[in-house]
Amino acid sequence: MTQLGRIYLLAILIFLYTPILVMMAMGFNESQLYELPFSFSTRWYVALMDNQQLLKAGMNSIIIAVITAVISTCLGTMASIALSRRTFRGKSLLQLLLLPPIAIPWLITGTAMLVFFYWSGIGRGMHALLIGHVALAIPYVVLVVGTGFSTIRADLEEAAMSLGSTPIHAFFAVTLPLLFPSILGAALFAFAVSLDQFVISYFLATPGYSTLPVQIYSAIRKGFTPEINAISTLLLLGSMAAILIFARFAKPGDVRDKR
């Protein structure tokens, strides 16, 4: 890489991470108005412990994100298996239909879900949020797991069955362990998509039930408080820890033959 390329890459990283670092730093600033010079304090983390609205909204977001990750990973993995290992009529159309939910603006998707849920009687609430988040996360899971399937040799299962294994046992003993990093990565992706989702949550949440992005938006409209920086920092650190755990145990990209 040339010197100019290194400088360009460094500038991109600074552009991406400087706002995040400033947000984290201001969560430890004594001033509520971000006055300088910087004065270290944990008062906003202490205040966060008494802010039941933010804590409840954060817990709601985590619960919905975990449930979304579990459901969408199971459904998306099964769909990816069918699309990767089976040939049936309409397969190409189904693969093509996975792309629009990712490309269509979430504002349009949220409006369509709101209208459909009212028309069908589903209504709004946590159950509607789960349906909406799972529907948005499944295409990502199918794409991530499908990419993992493309790196696995199909003849490995055939070799296991030639040695007396049943097709089901061969899948769980041979293919699934090799596919596990992709499944785990897809689950984390689905968790992140759900946790970050604002538009769908804003349209489908009831007044008494709110997620963290919606609650932060409402709090900013009333007047910004560094408590938002504090809870955002905690979620960011939690997300980074999950990514590090995934990188440590799943070892993505490690294609060495393990014997």
d(CA 64, CA 196): 11
For residue 29, give the 3-state DSSP assignment: strand
* pLDDT exceeds cutoff 80 at 135: yes
Q: Out of 3.40.50.920, 3.40.50.620, 3.40.1160.10, 1.10.3720.10, which CATH number does the structure's domain 52-249 have?
A: 1.10.3720.10
What's the pLDDT band for 1 if we cut at 50, 70, 90?
Answer: low
Give the pair of three-digit tokens for residue 122: 């589903």
Please check the confidence at residue 53 and state whether its pLDDT lies above 50. yes
pLDDT at 226 over 70: yes
Structure tokens at 147: 């990419």
Residue 154's SS3 state is coil
Res 257: pLDDT:
42
**What is the distance in angstroms between the CA of the first residue and the CA of the last residue of the chain?**
36
Confidence grade of residue 99 (pLDDT, cut at 50, 70, 90)? confident
Q: What is the pTM of this model?
A: 0.80
- Report CA-CA distances (Å) from 241 to 24, 81, 234, 247: 16, 29, 11, 10
User: CB of 79 within 8 A of CB of 138?
Assistant: yes
Domain with CATH 1.10.3720.10 in the chain: 52-249
3-state secondary structure at position 160: helix
User: Does the pLDDT at position 187 exceed 60?
Assistant: yes
Q: Helix, strand or coil for residue 226?
A: coil
Give 256's pLDDT tier (boundaries 50, 70, 90).
very low
Position 69 confidence tier, pLDDT thresholds 50, 70, 90 = very high
| Per-residue pLDDT band at 258 (split at 50, 70, 90) | very low
